[in-house]
Each structure stands twice: as structure tokens, then as C-alpha cells.
Amino acid sequence: MSTSKAKVYIVEDDASFSDSMETLLSISGFEVETFACGFTFLTDAEISYPGCLLLDVKLPDIDGLHLQQCLRNKGSILPIVFMTGHGSIPMGVKAIKKGAIDFLAKPFKPEELLQAVDEAIERNCADMHQLREKDQINELIKTLTPREKEVLTWVITGQLNKQIAYELGTKEKTIRVHRSRMMQKLKASSVAELVRLAQKAGISPAV
């Protein structure tokens, strides 16, 4: 995987340890930005994607798990790899359950760090792709009339035009027209594709 545009943020209060990671990651082709405390990261970091965060659990100003929650609250999709010399298995499990990619116990090997970062960057790229796809689908859905959107919610139930017409109190040929226009606007060629688009956009079937 190309790492030329990937950025790694390091939040670590041990300066020498932070410097060694920065050197390793820079040599490996990543752009790196370091922070000595959590609040500085939260206030000063200009997060860009793809990227990931190497986060020490024990910081002088804020607990790493709390910082993780702050990022979640802000809607960040920056993947996190936790690092600690004081952690425990329960703490690691808690971090993973909240979305962390990995939990590295210090001291860890350079290859362990690089593998965790690669996995985090890959996850971030996948998340970015899904968000872009969702945005594109939502833009297409905005082109639908209210009636076409209503028909969409019925079509994805798998019902026939005549059944939908009965439910909506209209004629089958009217549903046929709305359905055709709706599918053209959404660039969908089948009901299965409509179902997939609707799921990604958070649209539920009518029944």
C-alpha cells in the first residue's frame, strides 16, 4: 500500500520514545506529527485523511480512552492504535470495543508498530470510501421528488407495481412511471441494487 499521503499523529509524553517512533515512521514513508499531550492534539491538530493516531493511554493531562471518546463525539473517523506501558488486558479490551485498531504494550518491536499503522491506514481508506459512496448516493436521492422517494420505499419491499399502486391508492401505470424515473435518477438497474443503495443511505422499506 502507498503511504505517501498517509499521516500518522503521535500523542506521547515521553519525548525520546516519541522521537524514535517519528523517525521510524518517517523513514517508512509516512508524514508524522507529534503532540506531547492530549488537549494540545484536540485543539491544535488539523486532521487529514488517510491517517491514524498512535495514542498513549497514560498522558499527563487526559486519559487516552477519554480522548478516544472526544474524537468519537466529534465524528472523527481517525483510527486509533493505543500504546501503553501501564495498561491491562481489560483496558485493551475496552479500547478495542470502542473502535481502536490495536493495543500495543511497550516496549514493542518496530515491525509490530508498522503493521498496526498499516492496518489502521487501510481501515481509514475503507471508511473514507464508504463515506464518499454514501455522500454520492445521498446526492442522487436529493434529485427524487417526494413521490418518487415514497415509491422507492415500496419498491425495495419487493412488491409489484400493482401492489404498490393499491397501497398508495393510485394506478399501476402511474407507479410504473415513478418507478422508471426513480431508477434512472439513482442509476440503478435492479431492485437488488436499489436495496443496496437504500441501505447505505439509511432508507427503510415502507413495510
**Domain edges within the chain:** 7-133, 143-201
Give the class (CATH, top level) of 143-201: mainly alpha
Find the angle CA(189)-CA(191)-CA(193) to the nearest 5 degrees: 65
Q: What is residue 64's DSSP assignment?
A: H
pLDDT (mean) for 136-148: 95
Q: Is residue 187 pLDDT above 90, yes or no?
A: yes
What average pLDDT is seen over the chain?
91
Q: Cα(79)–Cα(102) distance, rounded to whole angstroms?
A: 9
Give the class (CATH, top level) of 7-133: alpha beta
102 contact partners, CB below 8 Å, separation of at least 6: 81, 82, 96, 116, 119, 120
β-strand 31-35 against 80-84: which pairing, if any?
unpaired
Strands (E), 117-157: none
pLDDT at 97: 79
Q: Would you say the CATH fold of 143-201 matches that of 7-133?
A: no
Full-model pTM = 0.77
Comparing C-alpha atoms, which of 74, 70, 94 is closest to residue 82?
94
Comparing C-alpha atoms, which of 151, 139, 205, 140 is closest to residue 177?
151
Identify the band that residue 17 occupies on the pLDDT scale cut at 50, 70 and 90. Answer: very high
Q: What is residue 53's DSSP assignment?
A: E
pLDDT at 59: 86
Who has greater pLDDT, 112 or 93? 112
- Looking at residue 80, its amino acid is I
